[in-house]
Chains A and B, each alone.
Chain A
Amino acid sequence: MQQFLQQVVSGLASGGIYASLALALVLIYRSTEVINFAQGEMATFTTYVAWQIIHWGVPYWAAFFLTLGVAFVFGVAIERVVIRPFEHGPVLTVVIVTIGLLVILNGLNGWIWTAEIKAFPSAFPTRPINVAGVAFSLQDIGIILVSLLAVLCLWAFFRFTKVGLAMRAAAVNPDSARLTGVRVGWMLALGWGLASMLGALSGLMVAPIVFLDPNMMQVVLIYAFAAAVLGGLQSPVGAVVGGLILGVMLNLLGTYVHAITPELRLPVALAVLLGVLLVKPSGLFGRAVVRKV
Chain B
Amino acid sequence: MRGTAIRAVAIAGAVALVVVLGFTMTDYHQYQFGIVAYYAVAILGLNILTGYTGQISLGNGAFMAIGGYTTAILCGHHHIGALWTIPVAGLVAGFFGLLFGIPALRLTGPYLALATFAIAVAVPSLAKRFDHFTGGSSGIILPIKTGHYLYWVSWICVAIGYVVAWLVLRGRTGRAFRAVRDSEVAAVSSGVNLASYKTIAFGISAAYAGVAGALLAIGAGYTNPDTFPVTLSLYLLIGAVVAGLGSLWGVIFGALFIEYLPIYAQKTYFGFAFSKQAPSVVYGVVLILIMLLIPSGVAGLARRLYLKS
Contact = CB atoms under 8 A, between A and B. Distances in A.
A100 B287 CA distance: 6
A33 B114 CA distance: 13
A229 B111 CA distance: 9
Contacts of A82: 288
B285 interface: yes
Contacts of A107: 277-281, 283-284
A267 B128 CA distance: 11
A260 to B, nearest CB: 10
Contacts of B288: 82, 97, 100-101, 104
Nearest to B283: A103
Given A99-B58, A261-B129, A34 B110 contact: yes
A278 B280 contact: no
A264 B123 CA distance: 11
B194 interface: no
A14 B106 CA distance: 31
B115 A273 contact: yes
A257 interface: no
Contacts of B128: 263
Contacts of A115: 277
A225 B118 contact: yes
A273 B230 CA distance: 17
Range of interface residues on chain A? 35 or more
Contact of B285 (A34, A100, A222, A278): A100
Contacts of B285: 100, 104
B263 interface: no
A47 to B, nearest CB: 17
Range of interface residues on chain B? 35 or more
Nearest to B287: A100
A218 B56 CA distance: 20
Interface string B261-304: 00000000000000111111101110110011001000000000
A92 interface: yes
Contacts of B21: none
Nearest to A101: B284
Interface string B80-113: 0000000000000000000000010011011101
Contacts of B126: 267
Interface in B218-256: 230-231, 234, 237-238, 241
B117 A37 contact: yes
A139 interface: no
Contacts of B118: 222, 225, 270, 273-274
Nearest to A226: B118
A90 B10 CA distance: 33
Contacts of B241: 96
Interface in A56-112: 82, 85-86, 89, 91-93, 95-97, 99-111
B287 A86 contact: no
B122 interface: yes
Interface in A234-254: none
B74 interface: no
B125 A263 contact: yes
A92 B245 CA distance: 12
A274 B103 contact: yes
Interface in A193-230: 214, 218, 222, 225, 229
B186 to A, nearest CB: 10
Given A33-B110, A225-B118, 4 more contacts: A29-B110, A37-B117, A115-B277, A293-B185
26 contacts: A37-B117, A85-B292, A92-B109, A93-B291, A96-B56, A99-B58, A100-B283, A100-B287, A102-B284, A103-B234, A103-B284, A104-B284, A104-B285, A105-B284, A106-B277, A107-B278, A107-B279, A108-B281, A111-B281, A264-B129, A267-B126, A270-B122, A274-B103, A274-B118, A277-B107, A278-B106
